[in-house]
Amino acid sequence: MGSDAEDHHVHFDSIKDDFESDHSNPVIQKAQGKINIHLGFLQVKHRYRIELKIPADILSEFIVNNHKLVLRLDETAVPNINCKLLSFKGDTTGDLQFYDAEIEFFAHKEKLLKEELKLLTSDEKSVRMIFSARVLGRGKGTPMLKNGIHLLGIEDDEESDASDWQGFSRKECDEL
């Protein structure tokens, strides 16, 4: 190892990793009279607040005469206790026009979970929003939430509360 020895380093070409910008937001797609919203990975028995920015072009078929879209719950539909619309309003930022939607979502079961909200426009046109998520069970890890998805709380497990088994008290255990 003389003075001729050079430092050996591995150099990689810097390639812009676009992973975060592609995968850090919920995916919103229009498909045959409905809007699909992919939320990514969530955790079972967790309640979330979801803030979405829905591009106006996705909702363009529901906009009449360039008026702002107003959505409200369809009172005739069976209410969805696991997915609730909290607010919906239009906004404009420069040339990009979008709608802000705020939803409360409860991940009540494991695996693939799909919940539907049935909404109406001001002229009684039906809008179906389908929310889908992969829900991890207890002890299966903690997912990294996408932008705009916030944890509100963790619900108690009803099975543990509804059990007939009360267990032994400390005193009863000592007596055994």
| Cβ neighbours of residue 102 closer than 8 Å, sequence gap 6 or more | 49, 50, 51, 52, 85, 86, 87, 88
Q: What is the pLDDT of residue 51?
A: 95
d(CA 132, CA 130): 6
Report d(CA 152, CA 106) in Å as an integer: 10
Distance CA 169, CA 164 (A): 15
**Both tokens assigned to 33:** 């009279």
Taken in order of first residue, the domains within the chain and their CATH numbers are 25-155 (2.60.40)
Two tokens, residue 38:
């992919």
Give me the tens of pLDDT residue by residue for the chain, a chain 176 residues long: 555 556 676 655 554 444 444 578 899 999 887 999 999 999 999 999 999 998 888 887 877 666 667 787 888 888 889 999 999 887 666 665 788 999 999 999 999 999 999 888 878 888 899 999 999 998 888 888 999 999 999 987 655 544 455 555 555 555 55
Residue 171's pLDDT is what? 57
In total, the chain counts a number of residues equal to 176
